[in-house]
Amino acid sequence: MQRLIDRARAAREMAVAPYSGFRVGASIEAEDGSVFTGCNVENATYGLTVCAERVAIWKALSEGARAFRRLAVVADTEELTPPCGPCRQLIWEFCGEIEITMANLNGKTETMRTSDLLPRAFDRRFLQT
Ligand code: THU
């Protein structure tokens, strides 16, 4: 997991966050061990901002990865930064029940499962009526 945290931390350096100043990095490990990274990307509309987690997931999916084992998210906060609500929904959709490790720059980490962060998720099962 340290490898994944290190990759997320490096990705955070690329954050495009001129509006919030809040820099986030994420990394996701596919079943075959390959790792994809992302940083948050903001823009002048604010609302079209994309979180680091989503950038990492989009990059992985667009490179053909479809099954994942772990995700890491790194921010410079004492209380560890968790994925936002929309990202939790998309992690559930595309990654399912994986390990999500939150880390800060001081080496503090905590790992949770997707269903801990998003209990009773809505997903495709409900569309099969
Ligand atoms: N952000 C992320 O990239 N991931 C998170 O888990 C929380 C929030 C970004 C979005 C925005 O660019 C900035 O942090 C402030 O919300």
pLDDT in tens, 6-63: 999 999 999 999 999 999 999 999 999 999 999 999 999 999 999 999 999 999 999 9
Quickly state the pLDDT bin for 128 (edges 50, 70, 90): confident
Q: What residue owns the CA closest to ligand 1's atom 5?
A: 83
Q: What's residue 12's pLDDT?
A: 98
How many other C-beta atoms are found inside a 10 Å radius of the C-beta of residue 51? 21
Q: What residue owns the CA closest to ligand 1's atom 8?
A: 51
**pLDDT tens per residue, range 63-121:** 999 999 999 999 999 999 999 999 999 999 999 999 999 999 999 999 999 999 999 99
Residue reference for tokens 């990705």: 11
CATH topology of domain 2-124: Cytidine Deaminase; domain 2 (3.40.140)
Q: Would you put residue 128 in left (φ > 0), alpha (ψ -120 to 50) or beta?
A: beta
Decide if pLDDT at 129 tops 70.
Answer: no
What is the whole-number distance in angstroms between the Cα of residue 109 and the centre of ligand 1? 18
Task: Measure the N-to-C terminal CA separation of the chain; round to a whole number of Å.
Answer: 39
Q: Which residues are catalytic?
A: 53
The ranges assigned to domains in the chain are 2-124
